[in-house]
């Protein structure tokens, strides 16, 4: 009846882990406010991130059944008693689980009001990947003027943002991509050199470009396939920031090898940089300022319907995409 209709919602749920076939389109009960810091958001958009494929495949464990998705943007429906600055009707963007759904309960500590001049779609497209790129260049390895920086998958979601932010620091960007179309895009985002790692030797190219010194830092979200290359591209005293597993997780590693060049190796996650409300608010405010100043162009590859979440995953894992994928609720 009417009551059941009003309290149900569409969502993408997984009951088992596996390929895209485990993504089920379901009608389930809407979540309700139960905690003091809960914010009930009517989602307009959910961002698609590579992590969603790890949750689906089981590389990162969720307790099942689960609605996947880690970020969204929409309008606040209701808030818990402890929430002070966010009100029903506010336009918000958040980093929180279960965003592939019409409604999500987000923790107010990870919910930000969308600033004037930024629409909900762009907000959903910018938050998780934007924060990731921002904390990587300010905290994992602090990029300095004139540094040489290697960025893998430079035309990807995080990649295109890293290229622009690193360039903005006055550093030199070398990007890797798998095809010429991606190369053009990464160059237009600010990469000084692009290496097509499908047909060029990355280490040789990096050494040629850097006068055989190597780079000061490497941002590597590809993982398994690029890890050894990344190590070889680092200069003495360099830093390898391994922040993802698009090609699979990096196998166990002998740390003594770092002494060959006194390298720093780090495996950071965004979550540990935005654990506290203060950290989340600071980084989010910095990111929004950069976007409002026009210093970060967020390129949306495609907006998919919720029903097409499977296709979004196939495209992302199939290396077909550039920039950001979005689901429209």
188 contact partners, CB below 8 Å, separation of at least 6: none
**Member of 57, 269, 303, 311 binding ligand NDP (CB under 6 A):** 269
When the beta carbons of 185 and 306 are compared against ligand NDP, the nearer one is: 185
Angle, helix 277-292 to helix 120-135, in steps of 10 degrees: 110
Q: Residues in the chain, how many?
A: 329
Burial call 112-131: b when 16+ CB within 10 Å, e when fewer: bbbeeebebbbbbbbbbbbb
Is residue 225 a contact point for ligand NDP (CB under 6 A)? yes
Are the CB atoms for 288 and 280 separated by under 8 Å? no
Phi/psi of residue 224, nearest 5 degrees: -50, -50
The answer to whether 209 and 202 have CB atoms below 8 angstroms apart is no
Q: Is 244 in the site for ligand NDP (CB under 6 A)?
A: yes
Nearer to ligand NDP, 114 or 158 (CB): 158
Q: What residues between 167 and 186 interact with ligand NDP by CB under 6 A?
A: 177-178, 182
Answer yes or no whether residue 242 interacts with ligand NDP by CB under 6 A: no
3-class secondary structure, 190: coil
One residue of 13, 37, 132, 239 binding ligand NDP per CB under 6 A: 132
When asked if residue 158 is in the footprint of ligand NDP (CB under 6 A), the reply is: yes
Closest CB to ligand NDP among residues 92, 154:
154
Using CB under 6 A as the binding rule, whether residue 155 contacts ligand NDP is answered as yes
Task: Report if residue 100 touches ligand NDP, rule: CB under 6 A.
Answer: no
Q: Does 51 bind ligand NDP (CB under 6 A)?
A: yes
User: What burial letters (b/e) apply to 177-215, b meaning 16+ CB within 10 Å?
Assistant: beeeebbebbbebbbebbbbbeeeebeebbbebbeeebb
Total residues contacting ligand NDP by CB under 6 A comes to 29
Pick one of 46, 66, 246, 265: the residue that binds ligand NDP (CB under 6 A).
246
47 binds ligand NDP (CB under 6 A): no
- Residue partners of 26: CB distance under 8 A and separation at least 6: 10, 11, 12, 13
Residue of 221, 233, 234, 280 that binds ligand NDP (CB under 6 A): 221
Q: In a 3-state reduction of DSSP, which class is residue 107?
A: strand
Residue 31 or 244 having the CB closest to ligand NDP: 244
What is the three-class DSSP state of 328?
A: strand
Q: Which is nearer to ligand NDP, 40 or 309 (CB)?
A: 309
Told to check if 157 binds ligand NDP by CB under 6 A, we report yes
Q: Please report, as ranges, the residues that interact with ligand NDP according to CB under 6 A.
A: 49-51, 129, 132, 153, 155-159, 177-178, 182, 221-222, 225, 243-247, 268-270, 316-317, 319, 321
């Amino acid at each position: 009846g009417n009551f059941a209709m009003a309290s149900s919602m569409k969502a993408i749920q997984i009951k088992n882990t596996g390929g895209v076939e485990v993504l089920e389109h379901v009608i389930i009960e809407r979540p309700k406010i139960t905690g003091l810091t809960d914010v009930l958001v009517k989602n307009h958009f959910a961002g698609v991130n590579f992590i969603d494929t790890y949750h689906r495949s089981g590389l990162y464990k969720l307790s099942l059944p689960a609605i996947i998705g880690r970020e969204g943007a929409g309008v606040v429906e209701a808030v818990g008693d402890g929430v002070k600055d966010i009100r029903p009707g506010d336009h918000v963007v958040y980093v929180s689980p279960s965003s592939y759904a019409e409604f999500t309960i987000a923790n107010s500590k990870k919910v930000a009001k969308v600033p004037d001049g930024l629409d909900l779609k762009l907000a959903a497209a910018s938050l998780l990947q934007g924060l990731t790129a921002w904390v990587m260049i300010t905290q994992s390895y602090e990029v300095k003027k004139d540094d040489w920086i290697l960025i893998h998958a430079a035309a990807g979601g995080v990649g295109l943002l890293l290229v622009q932010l690193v360039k903005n620091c006055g550093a030199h960007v070398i990007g890797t991509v798998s095809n010429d179309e991606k190369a053009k895009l990464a160059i237009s985002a600010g990469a000084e050199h692009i290496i097509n790692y499908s047909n060029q030797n990355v280490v040789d190219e990096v050494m040629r470009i850097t006068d055989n010194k190597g780079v000061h830092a490497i941002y590597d979200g590809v993982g398994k396939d690029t890890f050894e290359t990344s190590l070889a591209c680092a200069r003495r005293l360099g830093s390898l920031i391994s922040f993802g597993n698009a090609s699979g997780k990096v196998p166990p590693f002998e740390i003594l090898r770092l002494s060959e060049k006194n390298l720093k190796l780090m495996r950071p996650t965004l979550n540990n940089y935005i654990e506290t409300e203060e950290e989340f608010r600071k980084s989010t405010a910095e990111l929004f300022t950069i976007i409002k100043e026009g210093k970060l162009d967020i390129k949306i590859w495609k907006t998919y319907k919720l029903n097409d979440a499977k296709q979004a995953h196939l495209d992302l894992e199939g290396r077909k995409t550039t920039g950001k994928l979005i689901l429209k609720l």
